[in-house]
A and B are shown apart, each in its own frame.
Chain A
Amino acid sequence: MSFPLLTATAALPAIGAVATAAVPAARRTAAKWLALGVSLGTLALAITVLVRFDPDGARYQLTESHAWIKDFGVRYELGVDGIAVALLALTAVLIPFVILAGWHDADPLETGSRRWRPTQGFFALILAVEAMVIISFEATDVFLFYIFFEAMLIPMYFLIGGFGDRAHEHGEEAASTQRSYAAVKFLLYNLVGGLIMLAAVIGVYVVAGNFSLTEIAQARANGSLHMATNTERWLFLGFFFAFAVKAPLWPLHTWLPNAMQEATAPVAVLITAVVDKVGTFAMLRFCLQLFPEASKWATPVILVLALISIVYGALLAVGQRDIKRLVAYASISHFGFIIMGIFAMTSQGQSGATLYMVNHGISTAALMLVAGFLISRRGSRLIADYGGVQKVAPVLAGTFLIGGLATLSLPGLAPFVSEFLVLVGTFARYPAIGIIATFGIVLAALYTLVLYQRTMTGPVKPEVSAMPDLRARELVVVAPLIVLLIVLGVYPKPVTDIVNPAVKQTMSDVHKTDPKPSVEAAK
């Protein structure tokens, strides 16, 4: 038996989490370095996966399979396709930056504060989330996936509820109350989604007799497993609901702004750039493969909801007064694009959506982490408390602008490629929806530039006049992300080459082919 690479990729951060948590309280710096080292090790493993993965090879590669709960046919089955590899790489790339950006977020507060800040716990929880996200991307057993999909909530709950922004305008008590509200809201939303999914998971077992994604998908494809139309639709809805909460799709989105607002910037990045991606990824992998017919049946409604998400999220972002809430609503708009691309059922749409997940992860991380640096300097999340930062901290403003430009999908930066692919893929099949979604790009420019204008330009406000520019550690966090944005914007081929074959497979799962251009069709 060969080396279980996929298990190792997930196990390393899991072990790292335990080890970090076990570091004695006095040696908090050691814990930070340990966590960073583990995340870099995971990145190395993820790169190994990327290198060993052959885009033109079998659909699932590096597979591992062991019996786990024999009585119920639950297996420990791992395997990655192109889509999973891309997201695995994204996760592994982002976590070191999240750790580095949050370097001081869990330091003990000044003496006199009653709150205890467990530094070790913070970094251990981040690593735990990483492990669970990675195994969710790798699992090809529905039950195994479900367990980690749900288990992720536990560390996330503590990360949101336990660590907030340092300063708060209404004092610590109010901050703590709001944080718990956000954390509980996050937990309840996702738990409800997850429980509905659990019912559907059991339903799949009842219908199919096992939990193996590959077996069920194969049986569905060759017709040996028949599902009654209604059964398939109910099961699809059960899965989709959970993923739509996680993604999040309008109108199940309201937990995200609260969670992102209250969490520290690195945790907010963890939520929107990493954990939420499991939702959209699972739509592509589980919804489309297990329930192709029901997916097609639900497509019109889902596309409309995605469209509403795009426009609604963008409009709400325009109306926000809080920087982090603004980014959260912008993300809701972007998740609308991802879901639209997935359900447009064209290769451009689905490749675009996968690419979008990767690019959105990077661009949101860049924007949100810089916003976090900004907020930590002034101790306020309100846009109105800033002004003229550009003058005192030009590098911070410059990186913030680049993050913003990536968010508004400026050509030349990575998100443009994916957004355009999604739009073109949608337009090819549903022109009206494609055109309305295009309005999203105008609105994106609006909220980004308004944010930039209000915070960075104009006369320097007295409160920001002494603001220091980005420090070396912060620059180390932001610069590579910006380089990635530019590189993937100019040369996205490495990612598309990996993703394209997997999307082709998914397209054939749902028995769809790209529409032909009308000039050819006429001939």
Chain B
Amino acid sequence: MENLIALLIAAPLLGAAVLLVGGRRLDAVGQWIGTLLSAASFVFGLILFADLLGKNAEHRTLTQHLWTWISVGSFQADVTFRLDQLSMTFVLLITGVGSLIHLYSVGYMEHDERRRRFFGYLNLFLAAMLLLVLADNYLLLYVGWEGVGLASYLLIGFWQHKPSAATAAKKAFLVNRVGDMGLSIAIMLMFTTFGSFAFGPVFSHAGDASEGKLTAIGLMLLLAACGKSAQVPLQSWLGDAMEGPTPVSALIHAATMVTAGVYLIVRSAAIFNLAPDAQLAVTVVGAVTLLFGAIVGCAKDDIKKALAGSTMSQIGYMILAAGLGPIGYVFAIMHLVTHGFFKAGLFLGAGSVMHGMNDEVDMRRYGGLRKYMPVTFITFGLGYLAIIGFPFLSGFFSKDAIIEAAFAKGGTQGWILGGAALLGAAITAFYMTRVMLMTFFGEKRWQPDENGNEPHPHESPKVMTIPMVLLAFGSVFAGGLFSIGDRFLNWLEPVTGHSEGHSPISAATVTGATMVCLVIGVGIAWAQYGRKPVPAVAPRGSLLTRAARRDLLQDDFNHVVLVRGGEHLTRSLVYVDHTLVDGVVNGTAAGFGGLSGRLRRVQNGFARSYAVSMFGGAALLVAATLLMRAV
């Protein structure tokens, strides 16, 4: 059974290779090859899942060793896969949601001439993401980690002829590289601390290492997670990443890749459990980001960017939960899975709206769409209810659990984190209601574009709506399915461990408070966007709104400090290299050149002046001889 693990990765990898190398011959069937291989991977995942379920909880770890990758001295890196409950969960999410989105893309990308390549990239992404979650050591994980970064780069910049897309892709890769730096330093630290970076030895020896080392490793892993999961301060790339085709936003920048940071932290539980300072940093990052993303999400008029802010915020919840330690790990992953369903569904819904609206993304140009695209409306609506935590839908169970766990952290920290999570829930309710109202309710606000084409909103084809319906099912039922009888908890506990915290307030109180927040958020949104018509041109807005529209000025900061500063630095270095480093050498050469130029003038061609120098020389020699004799 272990041998199937490699096939999980091999199937989409084969797809990527075939589609990218195959050339134009495959243009007609490329999308089906990609979808089929992705589905094949999902089927392998289901078989393995059934196999794991048939085993005892403690025997649910399968490993497959393929070959020794790097071996130098004590540095040993193997290509070994490890399938346990945690990676199984991810495998099913990735291949399941991934296959649905492949299917959706068949419709969405139907008219794109480079469709074959799109599916190749999607398959490449799946392979890299599966490698990330199946790796048995951090270096192999790093390969997947950068692999998904590459796929994300290629897909964000898929419409390369648009300069904005190319720039967004580059930005995403670069910001991610900063995070990757953290991961590589963490691996180096593990190697010098434990002599290994494979999961087994690192986790089992974590107790022998000093707390300082563990904290350093933890912080570096956090840096990596910040990059990949778009957490403050490395969040700036996610909004721009919406330049990619919408299925990409759904799969990579909502459901799977951006959650890799959560996976990394939960996977490294053994290290974080022993490094409280690093854990604290994780929770702070999570709490700050969940508010940051939510605030940004409130101000955006671009439907995809609003959803991107929401993604950032929801991942903030997960990171927060992961930082809480054993109280939160399981809930982090549970929220991750439910979020995978409803956020993918929301993005696909947004894509469906754009599909029917001539690729318009400004929500102020939507309005009243529920009549034109009922399926999209219903599936999007269910996703909306799930994300705001409407009772008994998926988000309700997972988010509520995280808020409870945050309070259960105890002490002042618990109150602050729990409060932030509650506030976040209220803002989430606000901005999602805003998106919902602006898109599907109210009066129609669309206008002809500059070529005079008026959009004719229409429902998307079946190949797109079926995935949306399936994801809506997940958004509605997944949370309940996981929570009833603590199924998800029991499933994951052997890997992540679990402990109940000591909450200062009861679970019912927390749920009640969450409901109150939800109602307040929805209420304010309705008052602003439901009761009165939405202006087609954005009002100037308050200072906070304007700042939030600009991603809370982070990009401006980056631009002034990093981009401009960097440009000045490189330009001055180019100058220095030319004038100083090269100048010293060229200066020496020029010095000799000048000297010889002077000396050349002595050779003036007049015989008598040569005679003078001869006499002078002879006289000097005589004088020298005499002088020597005298001394």
Contact = CB atoms under 8 A, between A and B. Distances in A.
Interface stretch (B55-63, B101-109, B160-168): B160-168
B70 A320 contact: no
A449 B74 CA distance: 34
B195 interface: yes
Interface string A391-402: 100000010000
B163 A458 contact: yes
A254 B581 contact: yes
A457 B160 contact: yes
15 contacts: A250-B581, A316-B570, A316-B573, A410-B146, A421-B72, A427-B191, A428-B191, A453-B170, A456-B160, A457-B163, A457-B165, A457-B166, A517-B74, A517-B193, A519-B195
Nearest to B67: A491
Interface stretch (A260-268, A369-377, A440-448): A440-448
Interface string A430-468: 010011001101100110011001001111100000000
Contact of A519 (B139, B185, B193, B570): B193
A254 B585 contact: yes
B49 interface: no
Contacts, number: 162
Contact of A348 (B72, B174, B189): B72
Interface residues of A, number: 66
A340 to B, nearest CB: 14
Contacts of B189: 427
Interface string B170-193: 100110011011001101110111
A514 interface: yes
A500 B68 CA distance: 15
Contacts of A520: 195
A411 interface: yes
Contacts of B191: 424, 427-428, 517
A519 B72 contact: no
A438 B181 contact: yes
B146 to A, nearest CB: 5
A405 B173 CA distance: 11
A460 B163 CA distance: 11
Contacts of B170: 449-450, 453
A140 interface: no
Given A411-B147, A438-B184, A449-B174, A319 B571 contact: yes
Given A428-B191, A459-B163, A492-B69, A420 B573 contact: no
Contacts of A493: 67-71
A411 B178 CA distance: 15
Interface of A: 188-189, 250-251, 253-254, 312, 315-316, 318-320, 346-348, 351-352, 388, 390-391, 398, 405, 410-412, 416-417, 420-421, 423-424, 427-428, 431, 434-435, 438-439, 441-442, 445-446, 449-450, 453, 456-460, 490-493, 496, 500, 503, 514-520, 522-523
B216 to A, nearest CB: 10
A441 to B, nearest CB: 6
A87 B188 CA distance: 27
B160 A390 contact: yes
B150 interface: yes
Contact of A517 (B142, B174, B195): B195
B228 to A, nearest CB: 14
A515 B192 contact: yes
Contacts of A435: 185
B183 to A, nearest CB: 10
A406 B610 CA distance: 65
Nearest to B584: A251
Nearest to A254: B582
A36 B173 CA distance: 40
A457 B146 contact: no
B157 A348 contact: no
Interface string B448-477: 000000000000000000000000000000
B574 interface: yes
Contacts of A445: 173-174, 177
Contacts of B585: 189, 254
Nearest to B577: A316
B96 to A, nearest CB: 25
A410 to B, nearest CB: 6
Contacts of B209: 518-519
Contact of A412 (B74, B143, B162, B569): B143
- Chain A contact residues, majority secondary structure: helix
Nearest to B182: A438
B194 A517 contact: yes
A407 to B, nearest CB: 13
B160 A458 contact: yes
The residue among B142, B180, B585 with the most chain A CB atoms within 10 A of its own CB is B585
Contact of B181 (A348, A412, A442, A503): A442
A442 B177 contact: yes
Given A442-B181, A456-B160, A493-B70, 7 more contacts: A315-B570, A316-B577, A352-B72, A412-B146, A428-B191, A517-B193, A519-B193
B566 interface: yes
A492 B70 contact: yes
Contacts of B177: 441-442, 445
A412 B127 CA distance: 12
A514 B187 CA distance: 17
Contacts of A460: 161
Contact of A420 (B139, B166, B569): B139
A253 B145 CA distance: 34
B150 A315 contact: no
B173 A491 contact: no
A241 to B, nearest CB: 14
Contacts of A254: 577, 581-582, 585
A434 B166 CA distance: 32
A253 to B, nearest CB: 8
A352 B147 CA distance: 22
Interface string B490-517: 0000000000000000000000000000
A310 to B, nearest CB: 13
B546 interface: no
Contacts of B146: 410-412
A254 B177 CA distance: 29
A417 B163 contact: no
Contacts of A351: 72-73
Given A388-B161, A457-B160, A421 B75 contact: yes
A347 B73 contact: yes
B241 to A, nearest CB: 15
A119 to B, nearest CB: 33
A519 B208 contact: yes
Contacts of B194: 517, 519
Contacts of A427: 185, 188-189, 191-192
B160 A348 contact: no
B205 interface: yes
B444 interface: no
A411 B195 contact: no
B517 to A, nearest CB: 40
Contacts of A453: 166-167, 169-170
Interface in B58-91: 67-75
Contacts of B143: 411-412, 416
B87 to A, nearest CB: 19
A405 B180 CA distance: 15
Contacts of A189: 585
B445 interface: no
A134 B301 CA distance: 64
10 shortest A-B CB distances, which residue pairs?
A517-B195, A319-B570, A457-B166, A347-B73, A411-B143, A457-B160, A254-B582, A427-B188, A319-B574, A351-B72
B370 interface: no
Contacts of B196: 517
B574 A316 contact: yes
B234 to A, nearest CB: 12
B325 to A, nearest CB: 22
Contacts of B577: 254, 312, 316
A434 B188 contact: yes
